[in-house]
């Protein structure tokens, strides 16, 4: 369970998050939508501590996030997988090596740190990595260098890397913004399948209305750092959905 209480964040003079109050239950699949610059990415980055709010409280699974405590942040991040718009993979390393790097958080001291730094992983971990690659449908490309993979394949590797953490929560920051529509659909389906089968909370920042409408039960719409809609997709009519975007565009035009 993730709870936001009065979360506020400014960049310069602009309020990017303006008093966010929000509850996300364990196991939910939530889509966060909104126009560019509405604070979607900032919102999810406060969950794993890449953005520090100016005021307010974020708590994850009952623990208040302590942004100044490095060790707390590391322990928090171990349980939160993150995937990105530009995949954020090491292009020159193989798919398997990228996936394996997902379990580094578990080796953060003692011999584990030493061995993982040298480059050794246990047999179980290698097998888990292969299994995850098979789960995302890329077992045959495990030893391929990432820069030889297509965009959709790269995102699958990134998802496998996040799953390697054995996370409770999966944050996805515009995961399909750089993919073609057909691949996008498959990636969203994969994310939702992970949410359903592995009971991992999914929080997905999206730009495409169509994808949201068809797949997510709950959506949260942001505009200018404020939540302007939070509820079931089914109870949201199309006009309302369009208004979320149009309003901002009208404002920009003015």
Partner 1 sequence: MRSSIATDLPRRLNKFFWYVIISVIILYSFKISRVDVFSFISGFSYSWSLIKEMFPPNFSHFDKIIILTFETISIGFWGTVIGIIISFPLGLLSSRNLFQGLPYIISRGIINFLRAVPDIMFAMLFVIAFGLGPIPGILALSLSTVGLLGKFYSEAIESVDRKPVEALESTGSRKTGIIRYAIIPQVFPLFMGYNFYLLDHNIRVAMVLGLVGAGGLGLELYNEMRSFNYQRVSALLIIVCIVITLIDRISTKMSKDIIEGEFLSGKNKVINLFLISIIGLISVISLFFIPVDFQEIISGVPRIFEFITGLFPPNLSGIDRYLYLVIETVSMGITGTVIAIFLSIPLGVLSARNILHSRIVNSLSREIINFLRAMPELIFALIFVSAVGLGPFAGVLAIALHTVGFLGKFYAEAIENIDKKPVEAIESTGARFIQKVRYAVLPQIIPLFNSYNLYLLDRNIRASTVMGVVGAGGIGFELIMSMKVLDYQRTLTIILLILITIVIVDYISHYLRKRVV
Residues near partner 1, by CB under 8 A: 48, 50, 73-82, 84, 86-93, 96-97, 101-105, 107-108, 113, 116-117, 119, 123, 126-127, 130-131, 139, 142-143, 158, 161-162, 164-165
**Among candidates 26, 34, 12, which has minimal Cα distance to 224?**
34
Chain-centre distance of CA 149, in angstroms?
A: 21
**Strand blocks (E) in 43-121:** 55-60, 63-64, 80-83
| For partner 1, the closer CB: 102 or 225 | 102
| For partner 1, the closer CB: 42 or 165 | 165
Q: What contacts 41, CB < 8 A, 6 or more positions away? A: 173, 174, 205
| For partner 1, the closer CB: 47 or 227 | 47
| For partner 1, the closer CB: 133 or 212 | 133
> By three-state DSSP, how is residue 18 classified?
strand
CB of 47 to partner 1, least distance (A): 10
In eight-state DSSP terms, residue 52 is -
CB of 123 to partner 1, least distance (A): 7
Six token digits for residue 51? 């953005």
| For partner 1, the closer CB: 30 or 51 | 51
| For partner 1, the closer CB: 90 or 251 | 90
Six token digits for residue 191? 């994310």
CA–CA separation, 216 and 214 (whole Å): 6
- β-strand partners of 31: 204, 219
CB of 119 to partner 1, least distance (A): 8
CB of 141 to partner 1, least distance (A): 12
CB of 143 to partner 1, least distance (A): 7
| For partner 1, the closer CB: 60 or 241 | 60
CB of 253 to partner 1, least distance (A): 33
Using CA of residue 238, residue 222, residue 202, residue 42, what is the dihedral sign?
A: positive
Please count the helices (runs of H) and the strands (runs of E) in the chain: 9, 10
Six token digits for residue 66? 């302590």
Q: Around 242, how many Cα atoms within 13 Å sit in the side-chain half-sphere?
A: 3
CB of 243 to partner 1, least distance (A): 34
Does residue 129 contact residue 164 with C-beta atoms inside 8 Å? yes
């Amino acid at each position: 369970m993730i709870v936001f209480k009065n979360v506020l964040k400014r960049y310069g003079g602009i309020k990017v998050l303006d008093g966010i109050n929000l509850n996300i239950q364990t196991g939910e699949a939530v889509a966060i939508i909104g126009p560019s610059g509405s604070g979607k990415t900032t919102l999810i980055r406060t969950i794993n501590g890449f953005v520090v709010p100016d005021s307010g409280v974020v708590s994850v699974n009952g623990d208040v996030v302590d942004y100044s405590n490095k060790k707390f942040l590391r322990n928090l991040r171990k349980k939160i997988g993150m995937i990105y718009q530009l995949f954020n993979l090491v292009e020159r390393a193989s798919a398997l090596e990228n996936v394996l790097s997902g379990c580094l958080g578990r080796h953060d001291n003692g011999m584990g740190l030493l061995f993982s730094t040298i480059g050794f992983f246990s047999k179980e971990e290698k097998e888990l990595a292969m299994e995850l690659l098979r789960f995302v449908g890329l077992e045959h490309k495990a030893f391929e260098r990432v820069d030889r993979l297509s965009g959709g394949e790269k995102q699958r590797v990134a998802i496998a890397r996040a799953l390697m953490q054995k996370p409770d929560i999966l944050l996805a920051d515009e995961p399909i913004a750089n993919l073609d529509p057909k691949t996008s659909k498959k990636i969203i389906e994969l994310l939702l399948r992970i949410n359903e089968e592995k009971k991992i909370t999914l929080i997905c920042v999206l730009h495409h209305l169509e994808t949201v409408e068809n797949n997510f039960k709950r959506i949260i719409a942001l505009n200018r750092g404020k939540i302007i809609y939070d509820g079931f997709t089914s109870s949201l009519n199309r006009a309302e959905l369009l208004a979320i975007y149009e309003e901002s565009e009208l404002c920009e035009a003015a």
